[in-house]
Amino acid sequence: MKNNEECYIVEDLLLGYFQNLLNPETKKYVEKHLNICKNCKNKYNYIFEQKKLEDEKNAIDEELELNYLKKFNKKILMLKTIIVFFILIILGIVVFGGVKYLYNDIALSKIYNGYTNLKESNNYTMICNETYLEYESKEKDTSSLIYKYKDKKFVSKRIDLNIDIPGYKNMDIKNNDITVIGDLEKNEQIIYLNNEQVKVEELEIPLNDTYLNNNINNINEFNDWFYPIIVTIKTDKYYQKECFIVQYKFNKESYRELWFEKETGILVKSIEENYNRYYRERVYEFVEGNVTDEDFEMNHESE
C-alpha cells in the first residue's frame, strides 16, 4: 500500500523530473523510489525513450528548417548577384556610351571647326589625288585635282577624270586635262579641255557652297547630333601627323573612312568603299594663302 501510494506520487512527479522542475530534495526522493520500484522505473524508461525520440525529431526538424533557410538565403544572394551584375552591365554600357559620345563629340567638333575655318579662308589650294578601283572589271583609275580659291574665284585642273563635277558629265574627258575657271560672283565657269576653251556655263553649285563641300564629302553632315553615336573614331599617324580616323557604315554595303589631322581638323585622306562594287581613296593636301590672281588666267596656266 505504501509502495503503491508512493508510485502515484512519483508518477505525478516524473514529468516535472524530466523537465528539471523539481527541487533537489524531491528529485532525490524520486530517484530513490526508481531504484527500488521496477514498475516506476519502467515508466521512467518509457518516458525517457519518448522524450529522446521527440528530441531527435525536433533536432531533425530544426536542421531541415535551417537547411531551408540556408537554401533560401543562397537563392536571395544569387538573385542579388544577378541584379547587381545586370546593373553593372547597364551602367557600364551607359558610361561607355557616354564616354564614347563625349570623345567623339569633341573630336568631331574639332574636325568641324577645322573645316569651317578652311571654308572661311579666302585663299587656299587643295590638291586631291584619287585612286579608284572597280571590283568587277578590275579597272583601276587615278586622277588628280588641283583646286585653287581666292576672292570668290576658283580654278580647278584635273587629269584623267572619274569624279562627277558640274559641267563635265556629258563630255568625253578621259585622259585629258580639264581646267575650269569659275567666278562665284558672276555665277559662271569657263571650261578648258587641254588648254582650249570649250564651254562657258552657269555654275551648277550654289554660290555659298564652295567647291570644298563637294570634295570633302559633305562634311557638314558631321554637325548632326547623332554622328557621335554612330561613328567610330580612332587615332593614328599619317605621314607623322596625328590623325583622327572617323569610320562609319552607311549600310551593309558601304563603308567610309575619313582621316583628319588632329591639330587642324583638316581632311587628309578619305576612303569610300562599296563592298561589291568599288573602292575609292582620296588623298588631300591643303595649302593656305598661296593663290595669286595670275592663277586664274588661262594663258598663264598654259605657259
What is the contact surface with Zn ion in residues (CB under 5 A)? 7, 37, 39-40
C-alpha pair distances (Å), 208 with each of 166, 183, 200, 289:
15, 12, 20, 20
Q: How far is the CB of 32 from Zn ion (least distance, A)?
A: 11
Q: How far is the CB of 70 from Zn ion (least distance, A)?
A: 47
Check if the beta carbon of residue 233 is closer than 8 Å to that of residue 247: yes
Q: What do you get for the CA distance between the two ends of the chain, in Å?
A: 153
Contact 271, 256 (CB under 8 A): yes
Smaller CB separation from Zn ion, 8 or 72: 8
Q: Which is nearer to Zn ion, 3 or 117 (CB)?
A: 3
**Which residue, 147, 179, 184, is CA-closest to 299?**
179
| Shortest Å, Cβ 54 to Zn ion | 24
- Taking the complex as a whole, the smallest distance from the CB of residue 45 to Zn ion amounts, in Å, to 13
Between 38 and 138, CB nearer to Zn ion: 38
Alpha-carbon gap, residue 298 to 182, rounded angstroms: 11
Q: Which is nearer to Zn ion, 43 or 119 (CB)?
A: 43
Q: CA neighbours within 13 Å on the CB side: how many for 129?
A: 3
Nearer to Zn ion, 35 or 39 (CB): 39
- What are residue 289's phi and psi, to 5 degrees? 80, 15
Length of the chain: 303
Is the Cα dihedral 209, 211, 214, 215 positive or negative? negative
CA–CA separation, 269 and 259 (whole Å): 5
Q: 44: closest CA among 62, 60, 32, 56?
A: 32
One-letter amino acid identity for 213?
N
**Minimum CB–partner distance for residue 20 and Zn ion (Å):** 21
Nearer to Zn ion, 43 or 100 (CB): 43
Alpha-carbon gap, residue 216 to 266, rounded angstroms: 10
Cβ distance to Zn ion smaller for residue 37 or 133: 37
Kind of pairing, strands 232-238 and 153-159? unpaired
137 vs 29: CA distance, rounded Å: 118
Tell me the closest approach of the beta carbon of residue 41 to Zn ion, in angstroms. Answer: 8
Residue 68 CB, nearest approach to Zn ion (Å): 45
To Zn ion, the closest distance from the beta carbon of 25 in angstroms equals 18
Nearer to Zn ion (CB atom), residue 39 or residue 197: 39
